[in-house]
Amino acid sequence: MVFKKVWCVLALGFLLPFSCAHTDFFTSIGHMTDLINTEKDLVVSLKDYIKAEESKLEQIKKWAEKLDQLTDTATKDPEGFLGHPVNAFKLMKRLNTEWGELESLVLKDMSDGFISNMTIQRQFFPNDEDQTGAAKALLRLQDTYNLDTDTLSRGNLPDPEHQRANGNMKYFEYIMAKEKEANKSSTDSEDQQEKETEVKKKDYLPERRKYEMLCRGEGLKMTPRRQKRLFCRYYDGNRNPRYILGPVKQEDEWDKPRIVRFLDIISDEEIETVKELAKPRLSRATVHDPETGKLTTAHYRVSKSAWLSGYESPVVSRINTRIQDLTGLDVSTAEELQVANYGVGGQYEPHFDFARKDEPDAFKELGTGNRIATWLFYMSDVSAGGATVFPEVGASVWPRKGTAVFWYNLFPSGEGDYSTRHAACPVLVGNKWVSNKWLHERGQEFRRPCTLSELD
Protein backbone atom coordinates (compact mmCIF):
# COMPACT_ATOMS: atom_id res chain seq x y z
CA MET A 1 0.00 0.00 0.00
CA VAL A 2 2.81 2.35 0.89
CA PHE A 3 4.46 1.52 -2.40
CA LYS A 4 1.25 2.09 -4.29
CA LYS A 5 0.83 5.46 -2.67
CA VAL A 6 4.38 6.52 -3.43
CA TRP A 7 3.86 5.49 -7.02
CA CYS A 8 0.59 7.31 -7.14
CA VAL A 9 2.02 10.53 -5.78
CA LEU A 10 4.87 10.36 -8.28
CA ALA A 11 2.51 9.65 -11.11
CA LEU A 12 0.19 12.39 -9.96
CA GLY A 13 3.04 14.84 -9.92
CA PHE A 14 4.92 14.03 -13.06
CA LEU A 15 3.63 11.37 -15.34
CA LEU A 16 0.00 10.49 -15.53
CA PRO A 17 -2.00 13.11 -13.74
CA PHE A 18 -5.27 11.21 -14.06
CA SER A 19 -4.16 7.63 -13.75
CA CYS A 20 -4.86 7.36 -10.05
CA ALA A 21 -8.31 8.78 -10.23
CA HIS A 22 -9.87 5.93 -12.17
CA THR A 23 -8.88 2.88 -10.27
CA ASP A 24 -12.20 1.02 -10.54
CA PHE A 25 -12.35 0.18 -6.86
CA PHE A 26 -15.53 -1.81 -7.12
CA THR A 27 -13.96 -4.38 -9.42
CA SER A 28 -11.75 -5.86 -6.77
CA ILE A 29 -11.83 -6.43 -3.04
CA GLY A 30 -8.08 -5.88 -2.81
CA HIS A 31 -8.37 -2.16 -3.43
CA MET A 32 -11.45 -1.92 -1.27
CA THR A 33 -9.51 -3.19 1.75
CA ASP A 34 -7.11 -0.28 1.23
CA LEU A 35 -10.12 2.03 1.42
CA ILE A 36 -11.24 0.51 4.69
CA ASN A 37 -7.80 1.17 6.14
CA THR A 38 -7.85 4.71 4.79
CA GLU A 39 -11.18 5.29 6.47
CA LYS A 40 -9.88 3.84 9.73
CA ASP A 41 -6.90 6.24 9.64
CA LEU A 42 -9.26 9.12 9.00
CA VAL A 43 -11.40 8.21 12.01
CA VAL A 44 -8.30 8.24 14.23
CA SER A 45 -7.37 11.65 12.90
CA LEU A 46 -10.93 12.91 13.33
CA LYS A 47 -10.93 11.75 16.96
CA ASP A 48 -7.65 13.60 17.56
CA TYR A 49 -9.28 16.70 16.18
CA ILE A 50 -12.29 16.27 18.49
CA LYS A 51 -9.96 15.89 21.48
CA ALA A 52 -8.06 19.04 20.58
CA GLU A 53 -11.29 20.97 20.10
CA GLU A 54 -12.63 19.68 23.43
CA SER A 55 -9.51 20.65 25.34
CA LYS A 56 -9.63 24.10 23.75
CA LEU A 57 -13.27 24.52 24.84
CA GLU A 58 -12.36 23.28 28.30
CA GLN A 59 -9.72 26.01 28.66
CA ILE A 60 -12.15 28.64 27.43
CA LYS A 61 -14.81 27.42 29.85
CA LYS A 62 -12.42 27.61 32.81
CA TRP A 63 -11.51 31.17 31.89
CA ALA A 64 -15.18 32.13 31.56
CA GLU A 65 -16.02 30.63 34.95
CA LYS A 66 -13.09 32.36 36.65
CA LEU A 67 -14.01 35.68 35.10
CA ASP A 68 -17.66 35.15 35.93
CA GLN A 69 -16.87 34.93 39.64
CA LEU A 70 -14.40 37.77 39.50
CA THR A 71 -16.70 40.19 37.72
CA ASP A 72 -19.49 39.26 40.11
CA THR A 73 -17.40 40.30 43.10
CA ALA A 74 -16.07 43.37 41.32
CA THR A 75 -19.45 44.71 40.25
CA LYS A 76 -20.94 44.29 43.72
CA ASP A 77 -18.52 46.87 45.19
CA PRO A 78 -16.35 48.34 42.41
CA GLU A 79 -14.66 50.93 44.58
CA GLY A 80 -13.90 48.54 47.40
CA PHE A 81 -12.59 46.05 44.83
CA LEU A 82 -10.28 48.51 43.17
CA GLY A 83 -9.19 49.77 46.58
CA HIS A 84 -6.97 46.73 46.63
CA PRO A 85 -3.88 47.51 44.53
CA VAL A 86 -3.41 43.94 43.36
CA ASN A 87 -6.96 43.88 42.01
CA ALA A 88 -6.34 47.08 40.11
CA PHE A 89 -3.14 45.69 38.65
CA LYS A 90 -4.81 42.40 37.69
CA LEU A 91 -7.63 44.24 35.90
CA MET A 92 -5.04 46.10 33.83
CA LYS A 93 -3.16 42.91 33.09
CA ARG A 94 -6.28 41.01 32.10
CA LEU A 95 -7.51 43.63 29.72
CA ASN A 96 -4.12 44.43 28.31
CA THR A 97 -2.89 40.85 27.71
CA GLU A 98 -5.05 38.01 28.95
CA TRP A 99 -8.23 38.77 26.99
CA GLY A 100 -6.06 39.06 23.89
CA GLU A 101 -4.56 35.64 24.59
CA LEU A 102 -8.02 34.24 25.05
CA GLU A 103 -9.08 35.75 21.76
CA SER A 104 -6.16 33.99 20.04
CA LEU A 105 -7.18 30.73 21.67
CA VAL A 106 -10.78 31.15 20.47
CA LEU A 107 -9.51 31.86 16.97
CA LYS A 108 -7.04 28.97 17.00
CA ASP A 109 -7.80 26.40 14.28
CA MET A 110 -7.56 22.91 15.74
CA SER A 111 -8.52 21.20 12.47
CA ASP A 112 -5.14 21.49 10.70
CA GLY A 113 -4.05 17.88 11.31
CA PHE A 114 -7.35 16.40 10.26
CA ILE A 115 -7.75 18.60 7.19
CA SER A 116 -4.25 17.91 5.91
CA ASN A 117 -4.87 14.18 6.42
CA MET A 118 -8.08 14.50 4.42
CA THR A 119 -6.23 16.33 1.66
CA ILE A 120 -3.63 13.60 1.40
CA GLN A 121 -6.10 10.73 1.56
CA ARG A 122 -8.57 12.31 -0.84
CA GLN A 123 -6.35 11.46 -3.81
CA PHE A 124 -7.03 7.79 -3.12
CA PHE A 125 -10.77 8.17 -2.70
CA PRO A 126 -13.18 6.64 -5.20
CA ASN A 127 -14.63 9.13 -7.67
CA ASP A 128 -18.10 9.54 -9.21
CA GLU A 129 -17.29 6.88 -11.76
CA ASP A 130 -16.42 4.41 -9.01
CA GLN A 131 -19.60 5.19 -7.14
CA THR A 132 -21.74 4.76 -10.25
CA GLY A 133 -19.89 1.54 -10.98
CA ALA A 134 -20.72 0.24 -7.51
CA ALA A 135 -24.37 1.19 -7.97
CA LYS A 136 -24.43 -0.60 -11.32
CA ALA A 137 -22.87 -3.65 -9.72
CA LEU A 138 -25.80 -3.72 -7.29
CA LEU A 139 -28.21 -3.47 -10.22
CA ARG A 140 -26.49 -6.38 -11.90
CA LEU A 141 -26.80 -8.45 -8.74
CA GLN A 142 -30.42 -7.55 -8.35
CA ASP A 143 -31.16 -8.55 -11.94
CA THR A 144 -29.20 -11.76 -11.94
CA TYR A 145 -30.24 -13.06 -8.57
CA ASN A 146 -33.85 -11.81 -8.67
CA LEU A 147 -33.47 -9.69 -5.56
CA ASP A 148 -35.79 -6.86 -4.77
CA THR A 149 -34.33 -3.66 -3.43
CA ASP A 150 -35.69 -4.41 0.04
CA THR A 151 -34.01 -7.80 0.18
CA LEU A 152 -30.76 -6.25 -0.89
CA SER A 153 -30.88 -3.44 1.62
CA ARG A 154 -32.38 -5.33 4.55
CA GLY A 155 -31.61 -8.97 4.43
CA ASN A 156 -28.83 -10.46 2.49
CA LEU A 157 -25.93 -8.11 2.52
CA PRO A 158 -23.21 -8.53 5.11
CA ASP A 159 -23.90 -5.35 7.11
CA PRO A 160 -27.39 -4.09 6.35
CA GLU A 161 -27.57 -1.96 9.50
CA HIS A 162 -24.60 0.04 8.42
CA GLN A 163 -25.55 3.68 8.20
CA ARG A 164 -23.64 4.32 5.05
CA ALA A 165 -25.01 1.23 3.36
CA ASN A 166 -28.46 2.58 3.95
CA GLY A 167 -27.43 5.98 2.66
CA ASN A 168 -26.01 4.34 -0.44
CA MET A 169 -29.21 2.43 -0.96
CA LYS A 170 -31.00 5.71 -1.49
CA TYR A 171 -28.49 6.54 -4.18
CA PHE A 172 -28.75 3.05 -5.58
CA GLU A 173 -32.52 3.34 -5.84
CA TYR A 174 -32.11 6.64 -7.62
CA ILE A 175 -29.60 5.17 -10.12
CA MET A 176 -31.89 2.19 -10.62
CA ALA A 177 -34.83 4.43 -11.49
CA LYS A 178 -32.63 6.36 -13.91
CA GLU A 179 -31.32 3.16 -15.49
CA LYS A 180 -34.85 1.80 -15.98
CA GLU A 181 -35.82 5.06 -17.64
CA ALA A 182 -32.79 4.84 -19.94
CA ASN A 183 -33.57 1.22 -20.84
CA LYS A 184 -37.13 2.15 -21.66
CA SER A 185 -36.14 4.90 -24.05
CA SER A 186 -33.44 2.80 -25.70
CA THR A 187 -36.00 0.03 -26.28
CA ASP A 188 -38.32 2.59 -27.84
CA SER A 189 -35.70 3.74 -30.30
CA GLU A 190 -34.68 0.18 -31.08
CA ASP A 191 -38.24 -0.50 -32.17
CA GLN A 192 -37.58 1.65 -35.17
CA GLN A 193 -34.41 -0.18 -36.09
CA GLU A 194 -34.02 -2.85 -38.74
CA LYS A 195 -35.33 -6.35 -38.36
CA GLU A 196 -31.83 -7.75 -38.18
CA THR A 197 -31.22 -6.00 -34.88
CA GLU A 198 -34.52 -7.36 -33.60
CA VAL A 199 -33.48 -10.89 -34.42
CA LYS A 200 -30.17 -10.36 -32.68
CA LYS A 201 -31.93 -9.03 -29.62
CA LYS A 202 -34.32 -11.98 -29.49
CA ASP A 203 -31.38 -14.33 -29.71
CA TYR A 204 -29.73 -12.51 -26.90
CA LEU A 205 -32.61 -12.59 -24.46
CA PRO A 206 -32.91 -16.33 -24.02
CA GLU A 207 -29.18 -16.59 -23.44
CA ARG A 208 -29.37 -13.84 -20.84
CA ARG A 209 -32.26 -15.68 -19.14
CA LYS A 210 -30.43 -18.98 -19.24
CA TYR A 211 -27.27 -17.35 -17.94
CA GLU A 212 -29.12 -15.78 -15.03
CA MET A 213 -30.96 -18.99 -14.20
CA LEU A 214 -27.73 -20.94 -14.18
CA CYS A 215 -26.12 -18.30 -11.98
CA ARG A 216 -28.96 -18.76 -9.48
CA GLY A 217 -28.36 -22.49 -9.50
CA GLU A 218 -31.64 -23.14 -11.29
CA GLY A 219 -29.77 -24.93 -14.07
CA LEU A 220 -31.44 -27.23 -16.53
CA LYS A 221 -30.89 -30.55 -14.88
CA MET A 222 -29.18 -33.27 -16.83
CA THR A 223 -31.22 -36.39 -17.50
CA PRO A 224 -30.46 -39.17 -14.99
CA ARG A 225 -29.30 -41.34 -17.90
CA ARG A 226 -26.67 -38.81 -18.85
CA GLN A 227 -25.82 -38.09 -15.25
CA LYS A 228 -25.10 -41.77 -14.63
CA ARG A 229 -22.34 -41.56 -17.17
CA LEU A 230 -20.48 -38.92 -15.18
CA PHE A 231 -17.82 -40.43 -12.96
CA CYS A 232 -15.06 -39.58 -10.59
CA ARG A 233 -11.74 -41.32 -10.66
CA TYR A 234 -8.08 -41.18 -9.74
CA TYR A 235 -6.16 -39.84 -12.69
CA ASP A 236 -2.44 -40.29 -13.36
CA GLY A 237 -2.09 -37.95 -16.35
CA ASN A 238 -2.09 -40.88 -18.77
CA ARG A 239 0.61 -42.73 -16.85
CA ASN A 240 2.68 -39.64 -16.24
CA PRO A 241 5.62 -40.69 -14.01
CA ARG A 242 4.90 -37.78 -11.69
CA TYR A 243 1.39 -39.04 -11.02
CA ILE A 244 1.60 -42.83 -11.22
CA LEU A 245 2.30 -43.17 -7.51
CA GLY A 246 0.13 -40.27 -6.45
CA PRO A 247 -2.77 -39.88 -8.87
CA VAL A 248 -5.13 -36.94 -8.51
CA LYS A 249 -8.87 -36.94 -7.99
CA GLN A 250 -10.85 -36.07 -11.07
CA GLU A 251 -14.62 -35.59 -11.39
CA ASP A 252 -16.71 -35.23 -14.53
CA GLU A 253 -18.67 -31.99 -14.34
CA TRP A 254 -20.32 -32.26 -17.75
CA ASP A 255 -20.32 -34.60 -20.75
CA LYS A 256 -20.73 -32.41 -23.82
CA PRO A 257 -18.62 -30.36 -23.88
CA ARG A 258 -16.58 -32.49 -21.57
CA ILE A 259 -15.68 -30.52 -18.46
CA VAL A 260 -13.61 -32.17 -15.77
CA ARG A 261 -12.72 -30.95 -12.33
CA PHE A 262 -9.48 -31.79 -10.56
CA LEU A 263 -9.64 -31.85 -6.75
CA ASP A 264 -6.92 -30.74 -4.31
CA ILE A 265 -4.90 -29.62 -7.28
CA ILE A 266 -3.47 -26.39 -5.87
CA SER A 267 -2.50 -26.02 -2.21
CA ASP A 268 -3.44 -23.14 0.09
CA GLU A 269 0.24 -22.10 0.23
CA GLU A 270 0.49 -22.03 -3.56
CA ILE A 271 -2.71 -20.01 -3.73
CA GLU A 272 -1.33 -17.48 -1.25
CA THR A 273 1.89 -17.14 -3.24
CA VAL A 274 0.03 -16.67 -6.52
CA LYS A 275 -2.26 -14.08 -4.95
CA GLU A 276 0.63 -12.16 -3.38
CA LEU A 277 2.52 -12.13 -6.70
CA ALA A 278 -0.57 -10.91 -8.53
CA LYS A 279 -1.88 -8.32 -6.05
CA PRO A 280 0.47 -5.44 -6.84
CA ARG A 281 -0.19 -5.89 -10.53
CA LEU A 282 -3.95 -6.31 -10.58
CA SER A 283 -5.61 -4.00 -13.05
CA ARG A 284 -9.02 -3.88 -14.70
CA ALA A 285 -9.34 -6.81 -17.09
CA THR A 286 -9.51 -5.98 -20.79
CA VAL A 287 -11.15 -7.59 -23.81
CA HIS A 288 -10.47 -7.45 -27.56
CA ASP A 289 -12.65 -4.87 -29.28
CA PRO A 290 -13.62 -6.73 -32.47
CA GLU A 291 -14.00 -3.43 -34.36
CA THR A 292 -10.65 -1.88 -33.58
CA GLY A 293 -8.78 -5.04 -32.57
CA LYS A 294 -7.53 -3.14 -29.53
CA LEU A 295 -7.79 -4.05 -25.85
CA THR A 296 -10.40 -2.09 -23.91
CA THR A 297 -12.35 -2.38 -20.65
CA ALA A 298 -15.95 -3.49 -20.92
CA HIS A 299 -18.94 -3.59 -18.60
CA TYR A 300 -19.44 -7.25 -19.42
CA ARG A 301 -16.08 -8.13 -17.96
CA VAL A 302 -15.68 -6.68 -14.50
CA SER A 303 -12.69 -8.03 -12.63
CA LYS A 304 -9.08 -7.27 -11.99
CA SER A 305 -6.38 -9.43 -13.45
CA ALA A 306 -2.64 -9.85 -13.72
CA TRP A 307 -0.34 -12.16 -15.67
CA LEU A 308 2.33 -14.28 -14.02
CA SER A 309 5.26 -15.82 -15.84
CA GLY A 310 6.77 -19.16 -14.91
CA TYR A 311 10.17 -17.45 -14.83
CA GLU A 312 9.37 -15.23 -11.91
CA SER A 313 8.56 -17.86 -9.33
CA PRO A 314 9.16 -21.58 -8.86
CA VAL A 315 5.55 -21.84 -7.67
CA VAL A 316 4.19 -20.53 -10.97
CA SER A 317 6.56 -22.74 -12.91
CA ARG A 318 5.47 -25.78 -10.83
CA ILE A 319 1.83 -24.94 -11.52
CA ASN A 320 2.51 -24.72 -15.26
CA THR A 321 4.20 -28.11 -15.23
CA ARG A 322 1.25 -29.57 -13.35
CA ILE A 323 -1.13 -28.33 -16.03
CA GLN A 324 1.10 -29.80 -18.73
CA ASP A 325 1.33 -33.16 -16.95
CA LEU A 326 -2.39 -33.46 -16.32
CA THR A 327 -3.68 -32.22 -19.68
CA GLY A 328 -0.98 -33.78 -21.80
CA LEU A 329 -0.72 -30.42 -23.57
CA ASP A 330 2.49 -28.47 -24.14
CA VAL A 331 2.44 -25.37 -21.92
CA SER A 332 5.37 -23.72 -23.67
CA THR A 333 2.94 -22.31 -26.24
CA ALA A 334 0.34 -21.37 -23.61
CA GLU A 335 -0.33 -17.85 -22.41
CA GLU A 336 1.08 -16.84 -19.04
CA LEU A 337 -0.92 -17.70 -15.96
CA GLN A 338 -3.74 -15.18 -15.62
CA VAL A 339 -4.88 -14.37 -12.09
CA ALA A 340 -8.28 -12.74 -11.72
CA ASN A 341 -10.04 -11.26 -8.73
CA TYR A 342 -13.76 -10.52 -8.82
CA GLY A 343 -15.20 -8.26 -6.14
CA VAL A 344 -18.89 -8.02 -5.33
CA GLY A 345 -20.70 -7.58 -8.67
CA GLY A 346 -17.61 -8.75 -10.57
CA GLN A 347 -18.51 -10.91 -13.58
CA TYR A 348 -17.69 -11.97 -17.11
CA GLU A 349 -20.73 -12.31 -19.34
CA PRO A 350 -21.09 -15.20 -21.83
CA HIS A 351 -18.13 -15.46 -24.19
CA PHE A 352 -15.90 -17.90 -26.02
CA ASP A 353 -12.30 -18.28 -24.98
CA PHE A 354 -11.27 -19.14 -28.56
CA ALA A 355 -11.14 -16.75 -31.52
CA ARG A 356 -13.97 -17.17 -34.02
CA LYS A 357 -13.57 -17.40 -37.76
CA ASP A 358 -14.56 -13.75 -38.15
CA GLU A 359 -11.71 -12.63 -35.93
CA PRO A 360 -8.82 -14.73 -37.18
CA ASP A 361 -6.24 -12.17 -36.10
CA ALA A 362 -7.09 -12.19 -32.40
CA PHE A 363 -4.10 -14.29 -31.36
CA LYS A 364 -2.02 -13.67 -34.48
CA GLU A 365 0.82 -11.85 -32.76
CA LEU A 366 1.29 -14.79 -30.40
CA GLY A 367 1.97 -17.07 -33.37
CA THR A 368 0.73 -20.08 -31.42
CA GLY A 369 -2.68 -20.57 -33.01
CA ASN A 370 -6.05 -20.51 -31.30
CA ARG A 371 -6.85 -21.29 -27.66
CA ILE A 372 -7.24 -25.04 -27.81
CA ALA A 373 -8.22 -25.51 -24.16
CA THR A 374 -8.89 -23.68 -20.89
CA TRP A 375 -7.61 -24.61 -17.45
CA LEU A 376 -9.24 -22.70 -14.60
CA PHE A 377 -8.13 -22.88 -10.96
CA TYR A 378 -10.56 -21.81 -8.25
CA MET A 379 -8.42 -20.10 -5.65
CA SER A 380 -11.24 -19.24 -3.26
CA ASP A 381 -14.67 -20.36 -2.22
CA VAL A 382 -17.37 -17.79 -2.93
CA SER A 383 -20.06 -17.18 -0.27
CA ALA A 384 -22.79 -16.57 -2.87
CA GLY A 385 -22.81 -16.29 -6.66
CA GLY A 386 -19.69 -16.46 -8.82
CA ALA A 387 -20.38 -19.75 -10.62
CA THR A 388 -18.87 -20.51 -14.01
CA VAL A 389 -21.82 -21.31 -16.26
CA PHE A 390 -22.24 -22.68 -19.78
CA PRO A 391 -25.58 -21.33 -21.07
CA GLU A 392 -25.52 -23.29 -24.35
CA VAL A 393 -25.65 -26.58 -22.51
CA GLY A 394 -27.00 -25.62 -19.09
CA ALA A 395 -23.99 -26.42 -16.95
CA SER A 396 -23.09 -24.55 -13.74
CA VAL A 397 -19.71 -25.13 -12.15
CA TRP A 398 -19.38 -23.83 -8.60
CA PRO A 399 -16.10 -22.44 -7.31
CA ARG A 400 -14.40 -24.72 -4.76
CA LYS A 401 -11.10 -23.58 -3.39
CA GLY A 402 -8.18 -25.77 -4.43
CA THR A 403 -9.93 -27.33 -7.44
CA ALA A 404 -9.56 -26.66 -11.16
CA VAL A 405 -11.72 -27.26 -14.20
CA PHE A 406 -10.54 -28.04 -17.70
CA TRP A 407 -12.20 -28.21 -21.09
CA TYR A 408 -11.30 -28.14 -24.78
CA ASN A 409 -12.44 -25.11 -26.75
CA LEU A 410 -11.60 -26.63 -30.13
CA PHE A 411 -12.51 -29.91 -31.77
CA PRO A 412 -9.61 -32.05 -33.00
CA SER A 413 -10.23 -30.54 -36.44
CA GLY A 414 -9.36 -27.09 -35.07
CA GLU A 415 -13.00 -25.95 -35.38
CA GLY A 416 -14.30 -24.00 -32.41
CA ASP A 417 -16.71 -25.84 -30.11
CA TYR A 418 -19.55 -23.34 -29.70
CA SER A 419 -21.04 -25.30 -26.82
CA THR A 420 -18.13 -24.08 -24.68
CA ARG A 421 -19.62 -20.58 -24.50
CA HIS A 422 -19.42 -19.71 -20.83
CA ALA A 423 -19.60 -16.92 -18.26
CA ALA A 424 -18.44 -16.00 -14.78
CA CYS A 425 -21.58 -15.10 -12.78
CA PRO A 426 -21.53 -11.95 -10.69
CA VAL A 427 -20.24 -12.41 -7.16
CA LEU A 428 -23.11 -11.74 -4.77
CA VAL A 429 -21.36 -12.06 -1.42
CA GLY A 430 -17.64 -12.65 -0.97
CA ASN A 431 -14.62 -12.41 -3.16
CA LYS A 432 -13.66 -14.70 -6.01
CA TRP A 433 -10.11 -15.55 -7.01
CA VAL A 434 -9.35 -17.70 -10.04
CA SER A 435 -6.37 -18.25 -12.24
CA ASN A 436 -6.43 -19.61 -15.72
CA LYS A 437 -4.17 -20.97 -18.35
CA TRP A 438 -5.12 -20.80 -21.98
CA LEU A 439 -3.39 -23.54 -23.92
CA HIS A 440 -2.77 -22.96 -27.62
CA GLU A 441 -2.79 -25.17 -30.69
CA ARG A 442 0.93 -25.06 -31.49
CA GLY A 443 2.95 -27.81 -29.88
CA GLN A 444 -0.07 -30.08 -29.51
CA GLU A 445 0.10 -31.62 -32.98
CA PHE A 446 1.34 -34.95 -31.66
CA ARG A 447 -0.25 -34.71 -28.25
CA ARG A 448 -3.89 -34.06 -28.97
CA PRO A 449 -5.21 -37.64 -28.62
CA CYS A 450 -5.34 -37.18 -24.88
CA THR A 451 -7.66 -38.95 -22.47
CA LEU A 452 -10.06 -36.02 -22.35
CA SER A 453 -11.04 -36.20 -25.98
CA GLU A 454 -11.20 -39.98 -26.12
CA LEU A 455 -14.63 -40.00 -24.57
CA ASP A 456 -16.06 -37.40 -26.97
211 binds, among ligand OGA, Fe ion, none (CB under 5 to 8 A by kind): none
Using the rule CB under 6 A, is 422 a contact of ligand OGA?
Answer: yes
Q: Are 426 and 140 in contact (CB under 8 A)?
A: yes
Using the rule CB under 5 A, is 353 a contact of Fe ion?
Answer: yes
Q: Point out which span in 2-10, 156-164, 301-309, 345-353 binds Fe ion (CB under 5 A).
A: 345-353
Q: Which CA distances in Å does 272 have to 48, 55, 303, 319, 340?
A: 37, 47, 19, 13, 13
Beta carbons within 8 Å of 236's beta carbon, 6+ residues apart: 243, 244, 247, 248
Using the rule CB under 5 A, is 349 a contact of Fe ion?
Answer: no
What's the distance, CA 354 to chain centroid? Answer: 25
- Least distance from C-beta 347 to ligand OGA, angstroms? 9
Nearer to ligand OGA, 424 or 428 (CB): 424
- Least distance from C-beta 43 to Fe ion, angstroms? 41
Nearer to ligand OGA, 331 or 425 (CB): 425
Using the rule CB under 6 A, is 434 a contact of ligand OGA?
Answer: yes
380 binds, among Fe ion, ligand OGA, none (CB under 5 to 8 A by kind): none
Binding mask 197-226 for ligand OGA (x = CB under 6 A): ------------------------------
Q: Which CA distances in Å does 21 have to 27, 302, 388?
A: 14, 18, 31
Using the rule CB under 6 A, is 348 a contact of ligand OGA?
Answer: yes
Determine the residue with CB nearest Fe ion: 353
Using the rule CB under 6 A, is 436 a contact of ligand OGA?
Answer: yes
Q: Which CA distances in Å does 388 have to 182, 211, 344, 366, 404?
A: 30, 10, 15, 27, 12
Amino acid symbol at 161 = E
- Least distance from C-beta 130 to ligand OGA, angstroms? 22
At 75, which helix (H) or strand (E)? Answer: helix 29-76
Beta carbons within 8 Å of 117's beta carbon, 6+ residues apart: 41, 42, 45
Q: Which CA distances in Å does 24 have to 27, 400, 402?
A: 6, 26, 28
- Least distance from C-beta 424 to Fe ion, angstroms? 7
Binding residues for ligand OGA, rule: CB under 6 A, are 340, 348, 353, 376, 388, 422, 424, 434, 436
